[in-house]
Amino acid sequence: QRAVALYFIDRLALRAGNEKDEDQADTVGCCSLRVEHIELHEQKDGKEYVVVFDFLGKDSIRYYNEVPVEKRVFKNLQLFMENKAPGDDLFDRLNTQIMNKHLNELMEGLTAKVFRTYNASWTLQQQLDELTNAEDSVAEKILSYNRANRAVAILCNHQRSVPKSHAKSMEKLKEKIEQKREQITDVQKQVKDAQRDAKHGSVKEKVVYDKKKKMLERLKDQLVKLEVQETDRDENKAIALGTSKLNYLDPRISVAWCKKYEVPIEKIYNKTQRDK
């Protein structure tokens, strides 16, 4: 039972799950899973040995996941569920204290939470390496960072309900993008005219052409920033990025990434987060 529970804690970044107090909601973690929280399928959607998890985790956030596991894990789970009622403990010979005592004997300071923190940080590092492009603008690099952070939040099941203001703020952003595109079309015409005038014109007309060109570049940069913001905001509407960023991710990974790709640290951690 200990080995199977640890397999899930490591592979799925599940919380260990401490016993709840009387006044707390009935939420569970790995060691306190009950038979009713999992379903076993020898075959499901073309995959073998699938375990379906469905339970309320910390802060009453639902955890739902369909996971193909190794045959030995699957067979053990069948064994643990034998002759048990839905409300019975899946791991009836295990609790978090027993698990952590065993881990501490293997290595001082090792607890079930260390697996979750380690896997979160490892995922961030791997995703940053995969997603970051050195040639990108700062705004695009931040989008990559947030996507890496999102992969961690999904792993740790850090969800949130979509903010009430989301639809309205997206609408405003779309309007801004539309206005910016219209501005660009307008300035592109001006650049064309200025280029024609500058070809056979005076120094002054050449200066005007240069100014218009720079203005067009600036507007294009602003459009990219707005489009990135739109993607970012929409992708993360139901994900709580801050929880994993502050509690699970080794800040050294983020700082090293900022230095390597010349992204100001303020873009990743706001003042409150930096102070913390």
Catalogue the active-site residues: 248
Q: Give dist(CA 166, CA 228) in Å, integer.
A: 16
Question: In whole angstroms, what separates CA 255 from the centre of its chain?
Answer: 18
Rounded distance, CA 117 to CA 120, Å? 5
d(CA 31, CA 57): 12
Beta bridge mates, 47 = 44
> Which amino acid makes up residue 192?
K
Residue 151: which of 259, 241, 16, 263 has the closest Cα? 241
d(CA 182, CA 266): 31
- The helix/strand/coil state of 269 is coil
> Nearest to residue 257, comparing CAs of 125, 121, 119?
125
Please give the Cα distance from 60 to 56 (Å, whole number). Answer: 5
Non-local CB neighbours of 273 within 8 Å, separated by 6+ positions: 242, 245, 246
Region of 46 on the Ramachandran plot (φ > 0 left; ψ -120 to 50 alpha; else beta): left
Q: How many CB atoms lie within 10 A of CB 167?
A: 11
| The two three-digit tokens of residue 227, written as one number | 């489009």
**What does residue 48 show for φ and ψ, rounded to 5 degrees?**
-95, 150
